[in-house]
Amino acid sequence: MQPKLSLLDAQLIERIIEEAYQLMIKPGIKVQNPEARQLLADAGAQVDEETMIVKIPEQIVRKALETVPHQFLLYDYDGNPKVQYGGDAVQFDPGSSGISILIPETLEHKTAETADLIRIIKIAESLPQYDAQSTAIVCHDVPKDIHDLYRLYLVMLYSKKPIVTGAFTNKTVHQMIEMLAIFAGSPENLRKYPRAVFDACPSPPLIWSNFGAGNLISLARAGVPAEIVSMPLAGAAAPVTLLGAVTQHAAECLSGITIHQLACAGSPIVWGGAPSTFDMRKGGTPFGSVETAMIDSSYAQVGKSLGLPTHAYLGSTESKVLDMQAGLESGMGAMIGALSGINMISGSGMVDSLLCQSPEKLVIDAEGIAMAQRMLQGMKIQTETLATGFYEGVNFKGGDFLKQKITMQLFREEQHMPGKVIDRDSMRGWKESGSMDTFDRARIRVKEILASYKRPELDPDKEAKLHAYVLELARQAGLEHLPIAEELQPA
């Protein structure tokens, strides 16, 4: 039996959804995209073109919910199903869109560039705990106009895993879909075997921007999965109560789903988010706080009650370095997300409130994910009796159980064996191995992974076509050459 965490009862979930419907009427949803407003108006919503406020009746939303797939799959480069959105499947990917990288030697946060993202991709590709890649950081050595699509380009070159990504403009979302279609073989194949899911973000409170709603429409019509990332900021851009933030999240997601399904009914979409509380002392957004995890767990329950695939941002920290705070907040977040049955949990590797990525933390977080995955396996009945059968012939000696054949048969099933990053040695062994802390061991592990990584074999024709397409977009943005190492460039 998979253990589960539930913070809401059925009656409270129903109340949250009911108040979310009320919010979509009063005060309504501000929809800044003209095409989205027209879709809503044609469906029967009341639209004020001057204020761009749309009042969306409950029946329109419920009709949209009827057409949302309850489950869909993401595929890898080879066309194998690898990620399941829906039900209680739990998967992890690195956090996205960091702007800096943690330098392990100096602990400084350096502006991220191409080489940094490539390192992160290689590590996530090599660690089985990460079911998908993400476009983890923004590379500042290319023009801003191609920041989003260039990240996807690098992931497609260095990884075969499914991808969690997102566009930064209404123009580039089409270009990124075209990039994915090149590797898929055609837009039809991409629709049938999607490799990527795209984040689409409303602006709190209760706003769908021209860009956010435009992305929803484009993704829906292309049949490429969309992932709503609602970000209520409790106390600043959302009600201060956790339940108030969950209710605003529901209204933003329900309105986004309605726009999306009106654009193309039946296209896959995810009930996701990256909410937080507002720290009244420091003015920050503590994504590693337990309240953030509580909001995430709760809104996931609401989404699941509607039969929708789910996503959340958990497993990150406000700490600027890899210290005890980073481990505490990241581990708790990953475990709470897993026990909540959230389908895709993003955030691993990130420090400084989702601003900075760390390859070393990505390695450490993988160990926390493995522990969460072991927890999800729950308690299993492995033998005919629970314990009494083990005591036959035992002479009250502490080592007798080590001699039993069944111990050797079952201990690997019962116990998760962590990697070398986790220390379980004796004091003597720890000293003999260099008296290293977790960060030291993670640095070594990162170097091992990078040394053993081999870029996946890709179809040379498709790779060349992708490279030519991205290079032309780069030249239009003023960049003549893509900043990746010559020996790694496609032929």
Identify the helix (H) or strand (E) that includes residue 212: helix 210-222
pTM value surpassing 0.75: yes
The end-to-end CA distance of the chain, in Å, is 50
pLDDT in tens, 115-150: 999 999 999 999 999 999 999 999 999 999 999 999
pLDDT in tens, 355-381: 999 999 999 999 999 999 999 999 999
> Contact 211/170 with Cβ under 8 angstroms?
yes
The letter for the amino acid at 86 is: G
> Contact 320/281 with Cβ under 8 angstroms?
no
Mean pLDDT (the chain) is 96
Bond prior to 27 in cis (omega within 30° of 0): yes
**Residue 489: which pLDDT band, with cuts at 50, 70 and 90?**
low
- pLDDT greater than 90 at residue 392: no
In the chain, DSSP finds a helix count (H) and a strand count (E) of 17, 20
- pLDDT greater than 50 at residue 309: yes
Rg (C-alpha) for the chain, rounded Å, is 24
Query: DSSP state, 456?
Result: P
> Contact 198/224 with Cβ under 8 angstroms?
yes
- pLDDT greater than 60 at residue 275: yes
Distance CA 302, CA 471 (A): 43
Distance CA 207, CA 53 (A): 9
37's tokens = 């407003």
394's tokens = 């035992």
Beta-bridge partners for 111? 100
44's tokens = 């029967």
* Residue carrying the six token digits 């064996």: 417
Reference 284, options 234, 241, 323; nearest CA is 234
Percent of the chain scoring above 90 in pLDDT: 95
Determine the pLDDT at residue 488: 60
> For residue 395, what are the CA distances in angstroms to 169, 386, 390, 409?
72, 19, 12, 21
Determine the pLDDT at residue 395: 82
Determine the pLDDT at residue 466: 97
User: Ramachandran region of residue 198, left (φ > 0), alpha (ψ -120 to 50) or beta?
Assistant: beta
**Residue 484: which pLDDT band, with cuts at 50, 70 and 90?**
confident
